[in-house]
Chains A and B, each alone.
Chain A
Amino acid sequence: MGRYVIRRLLQMVPVFAGTTLLIFVMVYALGDPVAGLFGDRAPDPATAARLRAEFDLDKPLWQQYLLYLGKIFTGDFGTAFNGRPVAELMATAFPATVRLMLVALVIETVVGVVLGVVAGLRRGRGIDTSVLLLTLLVISVPTFVTGATLQFLLGVKWPLVSPAVSGEARFGELLLPGIVLALVSLAYIARLTRTSVAENTRADHVRTAVAKGLPRRRVITHHLLRNSLIPVVTFLGADIGSLMAGALVTERIFNIQGVGYHLYQGVLRQNSPTVVGFVTILVLVFLAANLLVDLLYAVLDPRIRYA
């Protein structure tokens, strides 16, 4: 187990280097970020040159990348063009997004698995069909449509919630955005669980458990679910990354100053230190989540062993 973890951690190094290099090249190759700072005016050559030097933009790309990597390891993510250190932006953005992600993750896991189990156990019946239809509907409607609609209905039409989340982004305020963010994944989880549960109900070990006369609840939680959850956990692992990035749309709609918002601003203003810094952290989160998922397999299915 320990060796497996170390091997996986080592594998992360080239993945990390590769992805950051890719992002770096893409963002910096896009154009001259300094040109956008001057609005509709031609950049003043002297000031532009000084700004370029300040942000290392006057050096060749490979050198910029090495300088950047070197700084990252000391915790310095550079300074955004608005004068704020990127690390400070992250300190305000990530907690908000992580809270949003947790809310979404809990909602999609609980509701998704419950719906999936209910549908899977009653395959072909009315409840199963409605879950399938509903999830199909949720999957086919884009997030910004559900988000804007729910925001208008619950925030303006029947004023139950505030349409915009305040700067603190408390858990209570994040419920509605969390639901919106969770919806699509929730539908996938429900469908995954349903299929897997429906399959496993006919598995030998479940039949044996039922034949032994175990209570139905125990059969479902201990024998049926444990196996059925493996594909769901795999999905959740991948979903953590996409939730963080996918928060872009939700955060914009509900005015959450999180990762999505700063990434969007960064791209819009071609604020390279912000974009590269945030994406770097996202890559790390994604890698860690995947490792966690792989380790969870062993917990869920004792037959899986890591040497």
Chain B
Amino acid sequence: MRTASRLTGAVAVVAALAAVATACGSGATGRGETGVVRASWGDPQHPLEPANTNEVQGGKVLDMIFRGLKRYDPRTGRAVNAVAESITTEDQRNFTVRIADGWEFSDGTPVTAESFVDAWNYGALVTNNQVNSYFFQYIEGYEDVHPAAEDARPTAETMSGLAVKDDHTFTVRLNQKFSQWPETLGYNAYAPLPESFFTDRETWLAKPVGNGPYKVDSYTKGQSMRLSRNENYSGTDKARNEGVELRVYTDTNTAYTDLQAGNLDVADDIPASQLKNAERDLDGRYVNQPAGIIQTLTFPLYRREWQGEDGRRIRQGISMAIDREEITERIYHGTRIPAGDLTSPVLGAEGGHSRDLCGRTCTYDPERARKLIEEAGGLPGGSITLTSNVDTGSHRQWMEAVCNSINNVLDDNGACRIRPVGTFADYRKDIAADEMTGMFRAGWQMDYPLIQNFLQPLYYTNASSNDSGYSSEEFDALMDRANAAERSQAVELFREAEKVVLRDLPAVPLWYQNGTAGYSDRVKGVRLNPFSVPVFTDIEVV
């Protein structure tokens, strides 16, 4: 009978512990305020200023409380006029901007030409330490307010290319031809700022004031932000709910659990470990749609072993040795799509996206991969490494899968090894210092839905995100021509330029990344915009 009594003892203790555990709850929290959408959020990395926000969480808020000259249609990704009545040019270089009547900031002050010009000058001025300054680099006089050298002082406070004509008109002169420039103006960095920002920045940062469909009611840094519908909003995309409560979550898993428990209405970014079951768990209230993000493997072309014809052939071979279909399916459960070009499906065919542009190079072909690498004399040094930061985004998993795929094709377990880097900052430091030896991850999230944005910053000579050190006169010339061309011809020229990159292959396309989200049965109309941010104005509370 001894075992029996032991067992009862154990059961009693377990029961006691369970009782302690359950007795504690104050019960699940209520259904939330009527008409207010409760959504997950992350702590923004920078103070919430339009020109100082370069990550999704801060961008999410700016998207709600600001409207710039243009806005990107959440369905098509096309830039449509918001505050702008018209933006006209004769020569693709001098633009006249007319602002529509009736726009106001949520504090009642009108949105004028100065609101834009002052905001842009503030964003560009080097002494304001704004990380998005480079958005203004096409405006004439940028290098006077933001000299490139480390210790140079600005020689001007304002950019000479900007001139206010009257309350509703200003002109912009660019330092080069750029026909697509108006299309970039939907980005948050170009948002107008009210006078209160310049007179009392600290107060403004504590509770930002904008001209968007929502206004900030309260902001508890690191915890939550409450936004309510801006009744004075002049745009066409008025909010269909009373407001939004953004709650900071320490972990996407917790947000997901809270969504399942009914304490949250919208959770964007479903954690990778839950993707497999999300569709079933959420009873179909699951969103999985293309976002303007592409992942590539980039090669350090600044190293000799990756240069020349042999280097190119090895890169092609490696590309063909990666079984994209299998990896995206196994690891990502349909939330990544094997890439066939360097852009993103959100651009659409008329925007310059086409999945077969890369052709054979991006198709899994073990035979050819082996042959190409052998012909080129094998992998440099006999083996290669694959590097990425592993602190976010479950990068370790796909890196192992990619290396396994290459190893299987080459029938050599040591051909490809992963070299994880602890933090993103550390990783970026190595890349910026040109210290990469093997291939490395280069994710690109678009700033605006234009094919130009997927090419120029990444592959133009000395561009800001040209991590491989790629430089091609042919590509640069085609980009210049495309930038100067009328909009209708521009896309075709950009595609020509993209073909040059795919031929030289400084980077191998891996897959297009989708945005994911889940929502509760309390709301409807949840979808993501091309930047994988929920379109809050469209969400209805039922």
Which residues of A are at the interface with B, using a C-beta cutoff of 8 A?
A: 30-33, 35-51, 54, 81-84, 89, 92, 107, 111, 115, 125-127, 129-131, 133-134, 148, 150-152, 154-156, 158-164, 166-167, 172-173, 175-176, 179, 251-257, 261, 264-265, 267-270
**B window 52-103: CB within 8 A of A:** 54-55
Given contacts A32-B425, A82-B44, contact A156 B126 (CB under 8 A): no
- What residues of A have a CB within 8 angstroms of the CB of B423 in the complex? 30-31, 36, 267-270
B43 at the interface (CB under 8 A from A): yes
Kindly state the separation between the CA atoms of A151 and B131 in the bound complex, as whole angstroms. 39
Given contacts A50-B126, A160-B25, A269-B425, contact A38 B45 (CB under 8 A): no
Given contacts A44-B464, A47-B131, contact A255 B254 (CB under 8 A): yes
**Is A130 touching B6 in the complex (CB atoms < 8 A)?**
yes
Tell me the nearest residue of chain B to A268, going by C-beta: B391
Q: Could you list 16 A-B pairs, sorted by A, with CB under 8 Å?
A: A82-B46, A126-B2, A130-B6, A130-B7, A131-B13, A134-B13, A155-B261, A156-B257, A156-B261, A160-B27, A162-B26, A162-B261, A162-B263, A167-B248, A175-B24, A257-B223
**Is A82 touching B442 in the complex (CB atoms < 8 A)?**
no
Kindly state the separation between the CA atoms of A84 and B222 in the bound complex, as whole angstroms. 10
**Interface size of B as a range:** 35 or more
**Looking at the complex, which one of B12, B224, B250, B258 makes contact with A162 (CB distance below 8 Å)?**
B258
**Looking at the complex, which one of B21, B134, B205, B444 makes contact with A150 (CB distance below 8 Å)?**
B21
- What residues of A have a CB within 8 angstroms of the CB of B146 in the complex? 44, 46
**Is B261 touching A159 in the complex (CB atoms < 8 A)?**
yes
**Is A269 touching B249 in the complex (CB atoms < 8 A)?**
no
**Looking at the complex, which one of A115, A159, A268 makes contact with B424 (CB distance below 8 Å)?**
A268
- What residues of B have a CB within 8 angstroms of the CB of A83 in the complex? 46-47, 205
Kindly state the separation between the CA atoms of A89 and B221 in the bound complex, as whole angstroms. 9
4 further A-B contacts with Cβ under 8 Å, apart from A31-B429, A36-B426, are A38-B131, A46-B126, A162-B28, A164-B264
Kindly state the separation between the CA atoms of A68 and B257 in the bound complex, as whole angstroms. 40
**Shortest distance from the beta carbon of A144 to any chain B beta carbon, whole Å:** 10
- What residues of A have a CB within 8 angstroms of the CB of B425 in the complex? 30-33, 35-37, 269-270
**Is B14 touching A134 in the complex (CB atoms < 8 A)?**
yes
**Shortest distance from the beta carbon of B222 to any chain A beta carbon, whole Å:** 5
Inter-chain contact total with CB atoms closer than 8 Å: 224
Kindly state the separation between the CA atoms of A47 and B5 in the bound complex, as whole angstroms. 72
B383 at the interface (CB under 8 A from A): no
- What residues of B have a CB within 8 angstroms of the CB of A167 in the complex? 220, 223-224, 248
**Shortest distance from the beta carbon of A152 to any chain B beta carbon, whole Å:** 6
Which residues of B are at the interface with A, using a C-beta cutoff of 8 A?
A: 2, 5-10, 12-14, 20-22, 24-29, 43-47, 54-55, 126-127, 129-131, 133-134, 146-152, 205, 220-224, 247-251, 253-255, 257-258, 260-264, 391-392, 422-426, 428-432, 442-445, 457, 464-467
**Is A45 touching B148 in the complex (CB atoms < 8 A)?**
yes
- What residues of A have a CB within 8 angstroms of the CB of B221 in the complex? 84
**Looking at the complex, which one of A158, A175, A255 makes contact with B250 (CB distance below 8 Å)?**
A255
- What residues of B have a CB within 8 angstroms of the CB of A253 in the complex? 251, 253-254
**Is B262 touching A159 in the complex (CB atoms < 8 A)?**
yes
Given contacts A31-B423, A126-B9, A269-B425, contact A43 B432 (CB under 8 A): yes
Kindly state the separation between the CA atoms of A166 and B28 in the bound complex, as whole angstroms. 12
- What residues of A have a CB within 8 angstroms of the CB of B224 in the complex? 167
Kindly state the separation between the CA atoms of A37 and B426 in the bound complex, as whole angstroms. 11
**Is A255 touching B251 in the complex (CB atoms < 8 A)?**
yes
- What residues of A have a CB within 8 angstroms of the CB of B253 in the complex? 148, 253
**Is A161 touching B257 in the complex (CB atoms < 8 A)?**
no
- What residues of B have a CB within 8 angstroms of the CB of A84 in the complex? 221-222
Tell me the nearest residue of chain B to A45, going by C-beta: B150
**Shortest distance from the beta carbon of B56 to any chain A beta carbon, whole Å:** 10
**Is A160 touching B28 in the complex (CB atoms < 8 A)?**
yes
**Shortest distance from the beta carbon of B414 to any chain A beta carbon, whole Å:** 28
Tell me the nearest residue of chain B to A89, going by C-beta: B222
**Shortest distance from the beta carbon of B149 to any chain A beta carbon, whole Å:** 7
**Is B248 touching A154 in the complex (CB atoms < 8 A)?**
no
Given contacts A38-B54, A47-B131, A251-B250, contact A164 B13 (CB under 8 A): no
Q: Give the most central of B54, B257, B430, B465: most A CB within 10 Å.
A: B257
Kindly state the separation between the CA atoms of A172 and B27 in the bound complex, as whole angstroms. 10
Given contacts A47-B130, A173-B26, A270-B425, contact A92 B222 (CB under 8 A): yes
Given contacts A31-B423, A46-B149, A82-B44, contact A41 B457 (CB under 8 A): yes
- What residues of B have a CB within 8 angstroms of the CB of A125 in the complex? 5
**Is A179 touching B9 in the complex (CB atoms < 8 A)?**
no
- What residues of A have a CB within 8 angstroms of the CB of B13 in the complex? 115, 127, 130-131, 134
Tell me the nearest residue of chain A to B2, going by C-beta: A126
**Shortest distance from the beta carbon of B12 to any chain A beta carbon, whole Å:** 8
Q: Give the most central of B25, B45, B250: most A CB within 10 Å.
A: B250
- What residues of A have a CB within 8 angstroms of the CB of B151 in the complex? 49
**Is B250 touching A44 in the complex (CB atoms < 8 A)?**
no
**Looking at the complex, which one of A43, A126, A159 makes contact with B5 (CB distance below 8 Å)?**
A126
Tell me the nearest residue of chain B to A40, going by C-beta: B465
- What residues of B have a CB within 8 angstroms of the CB of A46 in the complex? 126, 146-150, 152
Tell me the nearest residue of chain B to A84, going by C-beta: B221
**Is A176 touching B24 in the complex (CB atoms < 8 A)?**
yes
Kindly state the separation between the CA atoms of A36 and B424 in the bound complex, as whole angstroms. 6
**Is A134 touching B10 in the complex (CB atoms < 8 A)?**
yes
| Nearest 6 Cβ contacts at the A-B interface | A36-B425, A175-B24, A161-B25, A270-B425, A130-B10, A167-B223
Kindly state the separation between the CA atoms of A175 and B425 in the bound complex, as whole angstroms. 36
Q: Give the most central of B26, B54, B248: most A CB within 10 Å.
A: B26
Tell me the nearest residue of chain B to A138, going by C-beta: B17
- What residues of B have a CB within 8 angstroms of the CB of A40 in the complex? 428, 442-445, 465
- What residues of B have a CB within 8 angstroms of the CB of A32 in the complex? 425-426, 428-429, 432
Given contacts A134-B13, A160-B28, A164-B249, contact A44 B257 (CB under 8 A): no
Tell me the nearest residue of chain B to A83, going by C-beta: B47
**Looking at the complex, which one of B2, B263, B392, B432 makes contact with A164 (CB distance below 8 Å)?**
B263
**Is B150 touching A30 in the complex (CB atoms < 8 A)?**
no
- What residues of B have a CB within 8 angstroms of the CB of A160 in the complex? 22, 25, 27-28
**Shortest distance from the beta carbon of B420 to any chain A beta carbon, whole Å:** 14
**Shortest distance from the beta carbon of A100 to any chain B beta carbon, whole Å:** 13
- What residues of A have a CB within 8 angstroms of the CB of B152 in the complex? 46
**Is A50 touching B465 in the complex (CB atoms < 8 A)?**
no
**Is B432 touching A42 in the complex (CB atoms < 8 A)?**
yes
Given contacts A176-B25, A268-B424, contact A163 B263 (CB under 8 A): yes
**Is A31 touching B46 in the complex (CB atoms < 8 A)?**
no
**Shortest distance from the beta carbon of A277 to any chain B beta carbon, whole Å:** 15
- What residues of A have a CB within 8 angstroms of the CB of B261 in the complex? 155-156, 159, 162-163
- What residues of B have a CB within 8 angstroms of the CB of A270 in the complex? 423-426
**Shortest distance from the beta carbon of B153 to any chain A beta carbon, whole Å:** 10
**Shortest distance from the beta carbon of A34 to any chain B beta carbon, whole Å:** 8
Tell me the nearest residue of chain A to B254, going by C-beta: A255
- What residues of B have a CB within 8 angstroms of the CB of A30 in the complex? 422-423, 425-426
- What residues of A have a CB within 8 angstroms of the CB of B134 in the complex? 41, 44
Kindly state the separation between the CA atoms of A39 and B44 in the bound complex, as whole angstroms. 13
Kindly state the separation between the CA atoms of A151 and B21 in the bound complex, as whole angstroms. 11
Tell me the nearest residue of chain B to A133, going by C-beta: B10
Kindly state the separation between the CA atoms of A84 and B45 in the bound complex, as whole angstroms. 10
**Is A257 touching B464 in the complex (CB atoms < 8 A)?**
no
Kindly state the separation between the CA atoms of A158 and B125 in the bound complex, as whole angstroms. 55
Tell me the nearest residue of chain B to A43, going by C-beta: B432
